[in-house]
A = this chain, B = another copy of it.
Amino acid sequence: MKYSQATDYALHAMLYLVAAAPDKPVGVAVLAEKMGVSQTYLSKMLTKLVKAGLIQSVSGANGGYRLRRSYEDISFLDVIHAIEGTASMFECSLDHGSECLVQQVVVEAEQQLEQFLGNKKIADVAKRMKAE
């Protein structure tokens, strides 16, 4: 069980957007070069972030991707959910009468994890990055 590289890319892209320019749109080409990653693949991740409502896309010349107004509230969990989906990380495939104890334990663990990641804001980490 691993987070995909796509999540990695998306988190870093968000971090860059928050740290760099809250208002001016940044093109995929710039982001991709900054991160050393393929443009076309990165754009897929950004599209997902747009659909999740975390950023906005500005088309046309001088276009690119821009943060939405409420960017300060965006958490790691938001980005992860946008990329990986919101499905539970555990789904019991057996049919032992409605309730599965194994599932209960793992889901409880997952909720704890999500609470932690939901409290970690991208903006906070970005500030720490600037300070260094």
Contacts and interface: CB of A to CB of B under 8 A. Distances in A.
Interface stretch (A5-13, A47-55, A66-74): A5-13
A125 B109 CA distance: 14
A94 B33 CA distance: 11
Given A84-B1, A116-B112, A105 B76 contact: yes
Contact of A12 (B7, B91, B102): B102
A61 interface: no
Contacts of A105: 76, 117, 120, 125
Interface of A: 1-5, 7-8, 11-12, 15, 35-37, 76, 80, 84, 87, 89-95, 101-102, 105-106, 108-109, 112-113, 116-117, 120, 125, 128-129
